[in-house]
A = this chain, B = another copy of it.
Amino acid sequence: MTTVPHEIDTPEIMVDREILARNIARMAEGVAAKGLALRPHAKTHKIPEIAELQLAAGAVGLTVATIGEAELFADRGVTDLFIAYPLWVGPRQAERLRRLAGRARIAVGTDSAEAARAMGAALGEAAGTIEVLVEIDSGHHRSGVAPAQAVEVARAAADAGLRVAGVFTFPGHSYAPGMPTEAAAQEQRALGEAARLLADAGLEITRVSGGSTPSALLTEAGTTTEVRPGVYVFGDAQQLELGRCALEDIALTVAATVVSRHEGDSVVPRRIVLDAGSKVLGGDRPAWATGFGRLMDFPDARITGLSEHHATVVFPEDAHLPALGERVRVIPNHVCVAVNLVDEVAVVTGGRVVDRWRVAARGMNR
A residues whose Cβ falls under 8 Å from a Cβ of B: 9-12, 43, 65-66, 85-88, 90, 92-93, 111-112, 114-115, 118, 137, 141-144, 146, 172, 257-261, 267-269, 271, 273, 275-280, 282-285, 305, 307-310, 312, 324-325, 334, 336-337, 340-343, 363, 365-366
Give, as a whole number of angstroms, the nearest-CB distance from A26 to chain B.
24
Q: A337 touching B273 by the CB < 8 A rule?
A: no
Contact present for B366 and A9 (CB under 8 Å): yes
Q: Main SS of chain A's interface residues?
A: loop
Are B365 and A11 neighbours in the complex by a CB distance under 8 Å?
yes
User: For residue A337, which residues in chain B have a CB less than 8 angstroms away from its CB?
Assistant: 278-279, 283, 308
Contacts of A85 in B (CB 8 A): 259, 275, 309
> A308 to B260, Cβ gap below 8 A?
no
Whether A340 pairs with B279 at a CB distance below 8 angstroms is: yes
> Given the known A-B contacts A143-B273, A337-B278, are A88 and B258 also in contact in the complex, defined by CB atoms under 8 Å?
yes
The answer to whether B342 touches A363, judged by C-beta atoms less than 8 angstroms apart, is yes
Contacts A268-B141, A308-B336; A366 near B283 (Cβ below 8 A): no
Given contacts A142-B305, A142-B307, A273-B86, contact A366 B112 (CB under 8 A): no
List chain B residues, Cβ under 8 A from A282. 278, 283
Q: Which of B259, B268, B365 contacts A115, CB < 8 Å? A: B259
Q: Is the CB of A343 within 8 A of B363?
A: yes
Find the B residue at minimum CB distance from A325. B88
Residues of B within 8 A of A93 (CB): 9
Query: What are 23 residue pairs bridging A and B, where the CB atoms are less than 8 Å apart in the complex?
Result: A9-B93, A9-B366, A66-B309, A85-B275, A86-B259, A88-B258, A88-B275, A88-B325, A90-B325, A115-B325, A118-B325, A141-B312, A142-B260, A142-B307, A143-B260, A276-B365, A279-B337, A283-B284, A283-B334, A308-B336, A340-B341, A341-B363, A342-B365
A343 to chain B: which residues have CB within 8 Å?
363
Instruction: Report the minimal beta-carbon distance from A135 to chain B, rounded to whole angstroms.
Output: 8
Name the residue of chain B whose CB is nearest to the CB of A85: B309
Interface pair B65/A261, CB less than 8 Å apart:
no
Q: Are B88 and A324 in contact (CB under 8 A)?
A: yes
Q: Is the CB of A308 within 8 A of B43?
A: yes
Q: Which of B11, B12, B269 contacts A141 (CB 8 A)?
A: B269
A278 / chain B contacts, CB cutoff of 8 Å: 282-284, 337
